[in-house]
Amino acid sequence: MSPDPAVQAAAQPDGRVAVIALEGVPEICPGDDLAAMLLEALRNTPLALPLRDDDVLVVTQKVVSKAEGAIVDLTAIEPRPELVAFAERWDRDARQLEVVLREARRVVRMANGVLITETRHGFICANGGVDASNMGPLSGNVVTLLPVDPDASAGRIRAAVARAFGVDVAVLISDSFGRPWRWGITDVAIGVSGMLPLDDLRGSPDADGRIMRSTVRATADEIATAAELALGKTAGRPAAIVRGTHPTRGEGRIADVLMPREMDLFP
C-alpha cells in the first residue's frame, strides 16, 4: 500500500496525529511469540518505521490473550442453575456467563440480558472482558479471558521493541468496552507500559491562563480509541502505531485509571 501523504505528514508534532495499522500480523495461537510477530509486522509496515520515541504501540487484548493462552474451552464448563435461566431468557450462552462469574470480583449489574462485573484487575465492564469473537481456528466453543497482568503484557512487548529497534515506545493493550447511557463500544486501555495513562492538567493554565480545576485527560484511553479507528472489528488487524500524541512518559499502571470504590457514584 502506498503511503498516503496526509497520513505521512500527519505524523508530525503539533496538531497532527497518525494511526498506522500494522500489516501482516498472522493469526495468533496459544504459545506464539506475539512480540516477535509484532516486530515482523513493524518491519512489514513501511510507515511504521523508523519508530519514534513518542510513538505508542497499541495491541488489542484478543491477540495478547490468545498468545498467553488466556483461553477457556466452554465444553468443559458447567454453568450454575441461575445462569441457565438468565441465559435462556436472554438468548445468551450460559457457559460463557459462568466463565464471566468465575473471573469476577463482584457482579455490578445483571439485568436486561447484560452481565456487568468487576474483574480481578478492577475493570468494570460487560461480560468481564470474556469474548467469543474473532477466535480464528479456535472458533466455536472457546472464549478469551483478559490477560492476567495486562501492564506486564505491555511491558514485555515494549522491551522486545526496544531490543529490536533501539527505541523505547510506550505500549498499550486495548479492549472494547461499552458505556452506561450511550449505545456502542469504544476501545479503552487495559494495560500500559512506558507512559502515564492520565494527564493531570489540574493546576495548569488553560488557553487564557485560567487555572484548570478538574481536567484530567484520559490519554491512554483516547489513544486506544484512536487505534481502533484504524483497526476495525473484522479486518484481522490487531495492532497499530499511534504517532504524534506526545504521551507523558513514565512508569504508569492501568490501575491509576481506576476510580476507587469510595468515589464511585455507580456501584
Nearer to a copy of itself, 81 or 180 (CB): 180
Nearer to a copy of itself, 139 or 163 (CB): 139
Site for a copy of itself in 162-181 (CB under 8 A): 176, 179-181
Q: Which residues pair with 10 in a beta bridge?
A: none
Nearer to a copy of itself, 12 or 163 (CB): 12
Q: How far is the CB of 136 from a copy of itself (least distance, A)?
A: 6
20 by Cβ neighbours in 10 Å (0-12 / 13-18 / 19+) ranks as: buried
Which residue, 157, 150, 193, is CA-closest to 62?
150
Which stretch, 13-21, 34-42, 98-106, 167-175, contacts a copy of itself (CB under 8 A)? 13-21
Site for a copy of itself in 127-156 (CB under 8 A): 132-136, 139
Q: Which residues pair with 131 in a beta bridge?
A: 144
Instruction: Count the residues of the shown chain that bind a copy of itself, applying the rule CB under 8 A.
Output: 87
Nearer to a copy of itself, 16 or 156 (CB): 16
- Biggest CA–CA distance in the chain, Å, is 61
Which residue, 53, 61, 21, 59, is CA-closest to 248?
53
Site for a copy of itself in 73-92 (CB under 8 A): none
Nearer to a copy of itself, 106 or 163 (CB): 106
- Please give the single-letter amino acid code of residue 10: A
Site for a copy of itself in 93-112 (CB under 8 A): 109, 111-112
Distance CA(62)–CA(232), nearest Å, equals: 13
Could you write out the DSSP letters of every residue in 33-54?
A: -HHHHHHHHHHH-GGG-S--TT
Q: How far is CA 14 from CA 9, 17, 151, 246, in A?
A: 11, 8, 28, 9
Distance CA(174)–CA(30), nearest Å, equals: 19
Site for a copy of itself in 230-249 (CB under 8 A): 230-237, 240, 242-245
Q: How far is the CB of 265 from a copy of itself (least distance, A)?
A: 4
Site for a copy of itself in 190-229 (CB under 8 A): 197-198, 201, 204-208, 210, 212, 215-219, 221-223, 225-226, 228-229
List 98, 151, 175, 187, residue binding a copy of itself (CB under 8 A): 187
